[in-house]
Amino acid sequence: MDWQLLGLSFITVFVAEIGDKSQLAAIALSGSLKSPRTVFLGTVSALLLASLLGVLVGGGVAYLFPVRILKLIAAIGFAFIGIRLLWSREAECD
């Protein structure tokens, strides 16, 4: 097992999940219901399933396309999102 990769993926997902809407939903559910343990188990299993699907789809896509093409697609996608966000902010300012 690659412990460095395990640690890197743990830290990446942990930092990305802090304060997101799923965590806020879990806080709201556990505060309003009488079984925080059940809310914990439900949210953990949902995150595990979402991560499993992401890994399986990512592995399948990486098997079909070379890494260079995937990086190019990701770069174009992020650039497109960034330009769109800037464009929508500019339209709001007018």
Residue spans per domain, the chain? 3-93
pLDDT in tens, 39-94: 889 988 998 999 999 999 988 998 999 989 999 999 999 999 999 988 886 666 65
Whether the predicted pLDDT of 3 surpasses 90: yes
Record the tokens describing residue 56, joined without a space.
Answer: 């399986």
Q: How far apart are CA 32 and CA 69, in angstroms?
A: 47
pTM of the model: 0.63
Query: Amino acid identity of 85?
Result: L
Task: Copy the structure tokens of residue 13.
Answer: 């997902």
Overall residue count recorded for the chain in this entry: 94
Q: Which helix (H) or strand (E) holds 19?
A: none
Residue 24 pLDDT grade (very low, low, confident, very high; cuts 50, 70, 90): confident
Q: What is the pLDDT of residue 92?
A: 64
Token couple for 19 = 């304060």
CB atoms within 10 A of CB 29: 16
Residue 13: per-residue pLDDT: 86
